[in-house]
Structure 1
């Protein structure tokens, strides 16, 4: 139970939730949880990763806030690949802390299943120590069939690594004959990202006062509302959270218009791609008097079928990888 509720402030919180729900609630919120080390120094903790401990606790509290207000997906930046360059003591401490916190999530299994929360860990998981990877896999495996809410933890992650991985996956798929090079388009690249099962975030929050994305969801946040807060992550309060949602609501119309324009242009580019492929085939076959529109639609259906089979293949490969790491009992 949160401190606000313990102290009797629950009715104020409930009232604010009700007011916010009168407007548009973001369905997917992403957070760069920044400021743990500065918080540790501010509090004069003897060890830096004490700030990270409170940061992990704040994550669970924030997930509760999301569920209360009706946000169904939360994505957080927990550990960048760049963080492996920090001191061995801090990295080892963070890895041990991650294992402990994942174990804590496993201890809350009944609560997670009750709320239907699906836990997904996104990033280059093969960079993780075996014991941490095993714990992560267990958390992902036991909750993978839940679909009422989603907690995406970006761990061993950078956006550049994510995009590179997507390109390599597509190149391998083309080399193996699962897709054609001409099948590769913006929408297919997006589905091959670690976040391929998610919609782009509606709202991206960064704490600590820094005004940059630091290699987090660079592709996905092109049409998101960005909110930079001058508060350290462990001190992030529900009022900061409500303030960010209000910022999203103020900018909702402009964000939706930009997204709709982008979706329309994407559809037009995809149609043109299919049309170009059909025209190239017609040139080769030297056929006249054909119904071009019907051929374009037919080609589009075949292309979609190839892409869907390929996406299902890479999802299955990822699932099997996690099951090998931590078999489901």
Structure 2
């Protein structure tokens, strides 16, 4: 069963500012290739862009930021690239945690963290504990994450609860199902941004994105900065969110 985490007392965003922004960080490899650099340096530049995105989100008044850092499909990449990515993850878990805690950022990881091995799993747990009291921004990092696998795992967990007699299948509704997802205590994203010009979700937050607004940016992720976030939020402000309640 996917264990629910304690809820977090973080105030909602100001009117006109998305409470929860999710970003599909795409383009590290193309950024490196366009400069004749190895892909590992593209991933490092992408990690630097993460820092800018966190700072810009906090400054803009965003309360929840979810970053798609490593998908379940990424395990199928060449072994040397996976090794470089996990080494970078290991480094930043150790190097950035103290700064996140000072800035009031609460870090949480969603996904199958156990696939990274015990050392990284322990580092993730330590980072979450160190930043647990942060109240300025909730930072969720999706690692070894795939939305279809998340939904399937939630369905299995619900089935186990029903088989054990702890849950009446007739009572299962959307709210019940949501409690078995990695994002059980998190608000759904208001705005989903994807960089690099691609226009698809790539198995990211499929359940949670039901009423999100989408902004697709041509910028490659390592070049992402505060101005790009501001432009995406500006586009969000200009839209009227109807949630299917009425037509145009």
Alpha-carbon contact 2:101-2:130 (below 8 Å) kept: no
2:91 to 100, 120, 130: 100
Correspondence 1:183 to 2:174:
no
Question: Does the 8 Å contact 1:23/1:249 carry over to 2?
Answer: no
CA apart distance, 1:147: 3.6
Q: Which residue of the partner structure matches residue 316 of structure 1? A: none
C-alpha offsets along residues 59-114 of structure 1, whole Å, 9 cap, x if unaligned? 111100111111011001000010100101000111111000111123xx2x4334
Q: Specify the structure having the higher radius of gyration (Cα).
A: 1
Cα distance in 2 between the residues matched to 1:147 and 1:23: 19
Q: CA deviation at 1:191?
A: 2.1
Q: How big is the shift at 1:167?
A: 0.9
TM-score calculated relative to the size of structure 2: 0.89
Which residue pairs with 2:32 in the alignment? 40
Pairing 1:111-190 to 2, within 5 Å after superposition:
111-190=99-178
1:125 to partner: Cα distance:
1.6
Query: Is the partner of 1:258 in helix, strand or coil?
Result: coil
Q: CA RMSD in A?
A: 1.8
User: Structure 1 residues 176, 105: CA separation in 2 closer, same or farther (over 3 Å shift)?
Assistant: farther
Equivalenced residues, count: 234
* Equivalence for 1:58: 49
Per the TM alignment, residue 170 of structure 1 is displaced from its structure 2 partner at its CA by 1.2
Q: Where in structure 1 are there 5+ consecutive unaligned residues? A: 1-20, 263-329
Structure 1 residues 171 and 145 mapped into 2: Cα distance closer, same or farther (>3 Å)? farther
TM-score with structure 1 setting the length: 0.68
Tell me what 1:234 maps to. 222
Q: CA deviation at 1:23?
A: 5.9
Question: Matched residues in 1 for 2:225 and 2:104: separation?
Answer: 25
- Residues 196 and 221, structure 2, Cα contact 8 Å, conserved in 1: yes
TM-superposed deviation, 1:169 = 1.5
Shift of 1:177: 2.6
Q: Any conservation in 2 of the 1:105–1:139 contact (CA below 8 Å)?
A: no
Q: Which has the higher contact order (CA 8 A, sep 6+)?
A: 2
- Give 5+ residue unaligned stretches, structure 2: 1-12
Query: 1:263-297: per-residue Cα shift (whole Å, max 9, x none)?
Result: xxxxxxxxxxxxxxxxxxxxxxxxxxxxxxxxxxx
Give distance in 1, aligned partners of 2:101 and 2:26.
29
Post-superposition offset of 1:176? 2.5
CA distance in 2, matches of 1:238, 1:180: 48
Counterpart contact for 1:203–1:224, Cα < 8 Å: yes
Alignment-derived partner of residue 7 in structure 2? none
